[in-house]
Structure 1
Amino acid sequence: MDFKLLVIFFFVSACAQYVPPSRPNRPGRQKPGTCPVSTIITTCECRPEFNQCYNDRQCPGIQKCCDRGCGCRRSCVNPVNSIPDIIRPPGGGSRINCNLPKKVGRCRAAFRRWWYNRRTKQCETFIYGGCGGNKNNFETRDKCERQCVRRQNTYLPDRRPRI
């Protein structure tokens, strides 16, 4: 009897710790470029609401669905080493995201990010939670300023050339 209880206990423990694998991109449906290396440090709680996407088709424009920590937090991010990165001007050329409010997100990671404060017209630091949030969220001050701080004759509309 004790052996049966022990087996049941181990089985239930194993099931409680099981995390289903994220759904990877299917071949032929991936966008060009590679996902950036994640710098997020999290508590590794894997709940479905942490995922913004499951494959590249769910992401707008050139963005890819990338793992952003623990193997279970996926979100749409700009790829590295893609042809559109070469065509688009530095900073992406779009200032629409710069008008969004600062949003720390719903997760509990804590790392330094930059956001553009349109009231002060400056990039300011904040602590990002690791998931959720919005596009007014930059890894460095330089990236924030290139995207949001308007300098004379540097702003270009967010358009890719027609081929």
Structure 2
Amino acid sequence: MELRRRNNSYLVFACTLALGFLICMPVTTHSLIRGDCFLPPDEGNCGNRLTLRVKYYFDSTNDDCSEFLYFGCGGNDNRFDSFEECENVCLFNNGF
């Protein structure tokens, strides 16, 4: 499968090789639907430098996941433990 971005949505294509030709057909259009993914990164409101942890947030302006430092409590739900989790939830929406 292949993803193509168009107007904040992604067209999912299924491709196959038949008789020496690559044939691709759109399977579905998929939008970014999780509202938390549009929140700004929030480092939280407690802790100190000893409790800082690297987390990831979805940057809806750039349609990409980025690192930020999190204090360990508070904040919002646009916070993920890994780059892959961020992509799966906000960009590929659980597997697309």
Q: Same fold (TM over 0.5)?
A: yes
Q: Deviations over 1:8-38 (max 9, x none)?
A: xxxxxxxxxxxxxxxxxxxxxxxxxxxxxxx
Q: Residue 98 of structure 1 aligns to which amino acid in structure 2?
A: C
- Alignment equivalent of 1:121, drawn from 29, 54, 63: 63
In the alignment, which residue of structure 2 is the partner of 1:110?
A: 52
Q: TM-score, normalised by structure 2?
A: 0.58
Task: Confirm or deny: 8 A CA contact 1:115 1:138 kept in the other structure.
Answer: yes
SS in structure 1 opposite 2:87? helix
Q: What's the offset of the Cα at 1:95?
A: 1.5
Aligned residue pairs, count: 61
Q: Deviations over 1:64-95 (max 9, x none)?
A: xxxxxxxxxxxxxxxxxxxxxxxxxxxxx952
- Alignment equivalent of 2:82, drawn from 132, 140, 143: 140
Root-mean-square deviation (CA), in Å?
2.1
**Superposition misfits of 4+ residues, deviation over 4 angstroms:** none
In the alignment, which residue of structure 2 is the partner of 1:99?
A: 38
Is the helix fraction higher in 1 or 2?
1
Alignment of 1:11-160 (within 5 A): 95-108=34-47, 109-150=51-92, 154=96
Q: What CA distance in whole angstroms lies between the structure 1 residues aligned with 2:33 and 2:74?
A: 21
Q: Residue 115 of structure 1 aligns to which amino acid in structure 2?
A: Y
Which of these two proteins has the greater Rg computed from alpha carbons? 1
In the alignment, which residue of structure 2 is the partner of 1:85?
A: none
- Identity, in percent, stands at 31
Tell me, which stretches of 5 or more residues in structure 1 are unaligned?
Answer: 1-92, 155-163
Q: What CA distance in whole angstroms lies between the structure 1 residues aligned with 2:58 and 2:79?
A: 8
